[in-house]
Amino acid sequence: MKKNIWLLFLSLSFLWTVNSCKEDDPVDPGKIELAGIKVGNVELDLVNTNTDIPVDSVIFIMFRSQLDSVSAKSGILLQRSDNTTVGFKMTFIDNNITVKLILDEVLENQTSFILKLSSAIKGSEGEVFSGTQVAFSTVNGVLVIETITLNGIDFKVPYHPIDVDLENIGLEVTFSEPIDTVGYKVYFDIAGNVPISVSVSNDLTKVSVNNIDDLDYYRKIYFSINNGLKSVDGYPFAGFNNYFYSSLDSTYKFPEVTDQELLDIVQVQTFKFFYDYAHPVSGMTRERYGSGDIVTTGGSGFGVMALIVGISRNFISREQGLEQYSKMISFLETCDRFHGAWPHWINGNTGATVPFSTNDNGADLVETGFMVEGLMTMRQFLNPAVPEEQDLIDRTNTLINGVEWDWFTRNQNVLYWHWSPTVGWAMNMTISGFNEALIIYVLAASSTTHTIEPIVYHNGWARNGDIINGKTFYGYYQPVGWDYGGPLFFAHYSFLGLDPQNLHDAYGNYWTQNVNHSLINWAYCEDNPKNYIGYSESCWGLTASDQPSGYGVHEPTNDNGTITPSAAVSSLPYSPEQSMDAIRHFYYILGDRLWGPYGFYDAFNVKDNWWADSYIAIDQGPIICLIENQRSGLLWDLFMSSPEVQQGLTKLGFSY
């Protein structure tokens, strides 16, 4: 019994002793740990010195548990290596786990810093922090452009101001650091050796650049700052390059004349391409300026009609014109032909085919059609009462009748464009509307020797009615063809001879088609949805032509900024007011660049700083011929007077 009482006493004594110890010993509050530090988005090494840290204005200090914000505010210090303090505002995020330091200013470049976290920092539950410090140095400085304006307009890439005053360029450049002014002016340049004045502000951070001489108009002009420029502290500059477009110089480049006198000037100058620049042996029209012995069948057909205009307008005598025509048909009688059709290109000396492409080395029925259009128009112009001209008529008829239009159907209800003596029908391209080739079906139906049946036209060209469009664009109704009409040569090539004024069939009215096609093209350029420099109500015209990258087809649905004078000028019969505005603009305003020995150069693209010095036969021909049709209707009247043409149109269901 005594033993049990003793054991109970010992147990109670032990429990009292333990409880007494717990009340007297201090409680261990634990520790808080640093998880990481970031300067901006760059994480620092917490042990080693950090170098090349990008400058920023925010530092994040991340712990693993919540902080006591009061102790943290007094326990964090940022100093430079010279012991000067960097000021900041402190906020807490992530439920007081992360401290965000918002610096009073961006850290300096090429400077060493120490971030000191003292042991005074406590956790929210009193946890202790052992304290630490982290060293880092910032990257070498760079000189950058903070703002750059041109006449008050933002000039940083990708902004490219347009219509910049020719007399007044005001470039203002603000740099991030004072610049080294030793020889600094040579680093600023406007391309093209434009004389400029360059000055710098008193604090050396702002540079002003102004032109001394006037700029050239409608140019893509580059401004650059060379990377040799540096800051006072030696910070490097990466360089700068951007461009702008100068405005139009609206002064007249040639003396003003009446509109009729201006049309005379355009026609006679364009005529020189077909007469003065004709191939000396064949009399045919060269494919383009500089093409040497390569002559073009279709372009020469246009050239035949140009001879008629030249004779009628007394640019040359009738004898001169018919002498060249005789030379041309002598060549056509002996050069390569394939089932009566001529190739696209021919050597003007030898008469041999010049391949247009690998498989296009034989007959081209569309080019042949343009030639026959010219031959038939000339035949109607010739006077059968004059024996020499009757001989030309007979020879012309032989050439016309030799074209085997029906053979090019391949016994199908469609005409085919090409045939090759080496690869046959490999091109396999049908002539289907709507495009430039309506005349081909009219001539094929008009043939007295190799005609086609109406079903070939309706199935092949009109695609059983699928040729119909019936939509409205820019308020203009379009009877047939592709949306927005396509390139304007669709309204030109077939209609140098074929008169569209009263022409219509089951699919559309072709006067409405050509008028509205031209006005849609004009309205698109005036609207200028792509904001191309140079487009306006008086500067318009999209068709096939040369372009900065070679040759291309241009239309509202495929517009790269290339304006082709032939497009607007040749539409004079359809859009007389808009086309005459364009002629005046091209001649008077742009004439010092756009006017040359054979009239208007082929094309220009202000956006790409490109102005052609080329002439192309199939762009030249519509200019002289369709101007004439607007003035007198001469070529339309001659071609439409052909009995075969009248019969062919009637056969296909046309009213005219």
Convert the pLDDT of each residue in 425-453 to its tens digit: 999 999 999 999 999 999 999 999 999 99
Q: What integer is the mean pLDDT of 225-232? A: 97
**Percentage of the chain modeled with pLDDT above 70:** 96
Q: Which residues does residue 553 pair with via DSSP β-bridges, in sequence order?
A: 544
For 445, the 3-state DSSP assignment is: helix
Residue 636 host element (H or E): helix 634-640
Q: Is 0.95 surpassed by the pTM of this model? A: no
Q: How many CA atoms lie within 13 A of 363 on its CB side?
A: 23
21 pLDDT tier (thresholds 50, 70, 90): very low
- What burial class does residue 313 get, using C-beta atoms within 10 Å of its C-beta: 0-12 exposed, 13-18 middle, 19+ buried? middle
Cβ atoms of residues 60 and 38 within 8 Å? yes
pLDDT of 207 reads 98
pLDDT of 140 reads 86
**Whether the predicted pLDDT of 10 surpasses 70:** no
**Rounded to whole angstroms, how far apart are CA atoms 548 and 315?**
34
299 pLDDT tier (thresholds 50, 70, 90): very high
Question: What is the CA angle 46-51-57, rounded to 5?
Answer: 80
CA nearest neighbour of 183 among 126, 131, 226, 240:
226
Question: What is the CA angle 487-414-344, rounded to 5?
Answer: 55
Q: What is the CA radius of gyration of the chain?
A: 41
- CA dihedral (291, 295, 298, 303) positive or negative: positive
Q: Is beta strand 345-347 parallel, antiparallel or unpaired with respect to 353-354?
A: antiparallel
**Whether the predicted pLDDT of 3 surpasses 50:** no
pLDDT of 28 reads 62
Q: What integer is the mean pLDDT of 499-518? A: 98
Domains of the chain by start residue, with CATH: 34-138 (2.60.40.1220), 145-245 (2.60.40.1220), 259-651 (1.50.10.140)
**Whether the predicted pLDDT of 231 surpasses 90:** yes
3-state secondary structure labels for all residues of 45-107: CCCCCEEEECCCCEEEEEECCCECHHHHHHCEEEEECCCCECCEEEEEECCCCEEEEEECCCC
pLDDT of 27 reads 52
Phi then psi dihedrals of residue 302, to 5 deg = -65, -35
Cβ atoms of residues 88 and 39 within 8 Å? no
pLDDT of 55 reads 87
pLDDT of 149 reads 98
Convert the pLDDT of each residue in 521-566 to its tens digit: 999 999 999 999 999 999 999 999 999 999 999 999 999 999 999 9
CA nearest neighbour of 411 among 459, 464, 372:
459
**Rounded to whole angstroms, how far apart are CA atoms 284 and 617?**
11
Which residues, 6+ apart, have CB-to-CB distance to 395 below 8 Å? Answer: 329, 333
On average, the pLDDT of the chain sits at: 95
Q: How many CA atoms lie within 13 A of 68 on its CB side?
A: 17
Convert the pLDDT of each residue in 115-153 to its tens digit: 999 999 999 999 999 999 999 999 888 899 999 999 999
**Rounded to whole angstroms, how far apart are CA atoms 521 and 524?**
5
Q: Locate 193 and state its tokens.
A: 């050796």
Convert the pLDDT of each residue in 55-74 to its tens digit: 899 999 999 999 999 999 99
Q: What integer is the mean pLDDT of 463-467? A: 98
pLDDT of 431 reads 98
**Whether the predicted pLDDT of 14 surpasses 90:** no
Q: Locate 168 and state its tokens.
A: 């007044």
